[in-house]
Amino acid sequence: MPESNIKGSPSIDLSEGLMISAGFVNDMSGVNKFGENPTLATSSTETIWDGSNTYTFPSTADITHIRQATDQAAMRGATVEVQGLRLSGSSWFLSVQDVVLDAANTTTPVALTTPLIRVFRMKVKANVVTTQDVELRNVGGGTTYAIITAGNNQTLMAIYTVPTNYTAYVSAYYASLNKDSGGGDPDVIIKMWNQDNENTYAPQLKHVLGLDTDATSYFKHGFSPYLKLEERTDVYLTATNLSGSATADVSGGFDLVLMVN
């Protein structure tokens, strides 16, 4: 990488990835996105995220309220960090905000400080283990955009959107498969998709891999050169369960470098 981009003078020879994570490189950061769909239904295609269904991307700043599905006393007044993108004109700027759950009943929806057009991570910032799901939804509660599944304390979403004024470079993606339930062994097709919202394109397929519980239950693909994603591009993984009788537990994710334009 250009020497002008390197901050300071590390005294040891560091790999490119470690230099970025350690903050030695100006205007660059690493993003690791990982997700799980623990109950991929038979003969179906779903996104790899906590919702175990096809993910819905909003067209406006529709992501507005947070709550728990069932009241959990220990989570009353607890803080949840929400990472996503806020809408400003036609720009989608990075937003990280702390939201405090209702202090009397965690099922009461609490409004975000800033509504979002995208969300790609939530995590609990409290010494409490969630025993009930935490949901991020629209104002009417009809659509759920992120879920912290009980016990995980953060979302599992193989979903990301490049903020305005940034370019992303995907170095690799991966997926793994376990059988959840039912008869037989599931075979699963994993697909990586990109949707360029800057140019209003439809989703485009970028790579495909196959998994089965008998042999290739884990696979990783590296991009060389890295896969370039422009600002306001969604990148996500889907899984198709080819079995008509076995439910699948599918995990997957991707690694990328985020660079300021």
Within its chain, how far is the Cα of 181 from the centroid?
A: 25
Q: Which helix (H) or strand (E) holds 161?
A: strand 159-161
Please give the radius of gyration of the chain, using alpha carbons only, rounded to the nearest integer: 19
Contact 66, 101 (CB under 8 A): yes
- Residue corresponding to tokens 């369960």: 241
| Domains, the chain | 3-49+159-260 (2.60.120.1330), 63-148 (no CATH)
CA angle 187–180–151, rounded 5-degree value: 130
Q: 217-227, pLDDT tens digit by residue?
A: 899 999 999 99
Whether residue 2 is predicted with pLDDT greater than 60 in this model: the reply is no
Whether residue 14 is predicted with pLDDT greater than 80 in this model: the reply is no
Contact 165, 215 (CB under 8 A): no
Q: 163-212, pLDDT tens digit by residue?
A: 999 999 999 999 999 999 998 889 999 999 999 999 999 999 999 999 98
Give the confidence band of 66 by pLDDT, cuts at 50, 70, 90: very high
Q: 21-54, pLDDT tens digit by residue?
A: 888 888 899 999 999 999 999 999 999 999 999 9
Q: 137-147, pLDDT tens digit by residue?
A: 999 999 999 99
